[in-house]
Amino acid sequence: MNQTIEKLVSLCKRRGIIFQSSEIYGGFGAVYDYGPLGIELKNNISQLWWKEMTQVHENIVGLDSAILMHPKIWEASGHVNAFHDPLVDCKQCNSRYRADEFGDDYDSIEWDTIKCPKCGTTGKMTEPRQFNLMFKTHVGPVEDSGAVTYLRPETAQGIYVNYQLVQGAMRMKIPFGIAQIGKAFRNEIVARNFIFRTREFEQMEMQYFVKPGTDDEFMKEWKEKRFRFYPNKLGVDESKIRFHEHGKTELAHYAKEAWDIEYEFPFGWSEIEGIHNRTDFDLSQHETFSGKKLQYFDQQENSRFLPYIIETSAGLNRMLLTVLSDAFWEDTENNRIVLKLHPRIAPVKAVICPLIKKEGLPEKARTIVDGLKPHFKVLYDQQGSIGKRYYRQDEAGTPFGITVDHQSMEDDSVTIRDRDTQEQTRISSDQILNFIRDKMD
């Protein structure tokens, strides 16, 4: 594993951000649990996305569809027949790879000339086999084929099959969007790079229903909006994100045009979000398989048509890995590790510390905590030297350290320390709330 990622993994475990699933049983492959700080961070990120989509855009509404759905949906969507990854094995050391790791044109590779990246043996690689990524499960007590369904591999289909109900109930007029955050499952062949590729993950998807012919224009609009989200809302370094357009061979079976937003992770440039023009592929498939008409009626033009769909599809866990990688900073000068998370997404916004454990300082610090905690997450800490207390919070990404000292008892002021610069300023305690809120905005 990459060294920086290794350090990040260890920090995440130590500070209760992310744990390997089922650790006491030796772990469970490519599944992770989120600890107390991890869940705060994840919630902050997903709430930001949710607000951006469903609050800032008046024509986008939310949905929470079920993970288990009618199995025919996955036939209609193409997942039963086409959601495959090509798999190759090294017969020498039993390592398993996705064939496309060796090149997009893996079909024309001569596999008996390929060297195994792990054991170095040449000539032991198998030909690619197609492997369906969906987790199959049985509904009901009898394991017969009539009751087979799948854990959803994407949240999008739940939106398509509900689109008419949502449109009717909310009287939505095209163009309009439906947003959803939820779990998705893929039986990934190789899971690497920490939470980048896992078998259980969360997606944040928005499907934008538009009139055919206007799709190129909306594709452009959503590409731009989604790209800006990373620097503007998450505070990600703009020089570390870029677009990658899918070439003809990369395009998914449903897509007319597709762009990835990529981030430069410690292990290289990789996709964090996809923006796809899915045309009317999904809706027309669902018309065929369900036998129900799914056209939209345009009252003004008195016409009916199947909308085209522009999809923005982001992985919540990958977004979290993006902000963690971006924020991770080894401050060698001061011998500390810092998570430079934007105050907007930091799990805890401030730590409040009495300088000493007596003379009324703890009580005053507690009063400050009580005043702030209805607004955002703060911590009280009186353990150890003030320097140690700050360093503990630097690692957790807490942007502000507030200290109550003797002067506080006289003039009701406190010092407020900036995590990144370590500079301290003195402000009146009734200004703390506004100070932090300003930085979060």
Interface with ligand ATP (CB under 6 A): 186, 188, 197-198, 201, 203, 271-274, 313-315, 317-318
Q: Which is nearer to ligand ATP, 97 or 201 (CB)?
A: 201
| Least separation in angstroms between CB 32 and ligand ATP | 10
| Least separation in angstroms between CB 208 and ligand ATP | 15
Q: Which is nearer to ligand ATP, 276 or 349 (CB)?
A: 276
Residue type, 348: V
Q: Which is nearer to ligand ATP, 102 or 201 (CB)?
A: 201
Tally Cβ neighbours within 10 Å of residue 173: 13
Residues in the chain: 441
Residue 24, token pair as written in the block: 């006491």
Residue type, 163: Y
| Least separation in angstroms between CB 186 and ligand ATP | 5
| Least separation in angstroms between CB 318 and ligand ATP | 4
Residue 58, token pair as written in the block: 């008046």
Q: Which is nearer to ligand ATP, 195 or 306 (CB)?
A: 195
| Least separation in angstroms between CB 254 and ligand ATP | 10
Q: Which is nearer to ligand ATP, 188 or 395 (CB)?
A: 188
- Contact status, residue 65 vs residue 159, Cβ threshold 8 Å: yes
| Least separation in angstroms between CB 194 and ligand ATP | 10
Q: Which is nearer to ligand ATP, 153 or 354 (CB)?
A: 153
| Least separation in angstroms between CB 252 and ligand ATP | 7
Q: Which is nearer to ligand ATP, 196 or 218 (CB)?
A: 196
Q: Which is nearer to ligand ATP, 32 or 390 (CB)?
A: 32
- Contact status, residue 400 vs residue 416, Cβ threshold 8 Å: yes
| Least separation in angstroms between CB 109 and ligand ATP | 19
Residue of closest CB approach to ligand ATP: 315
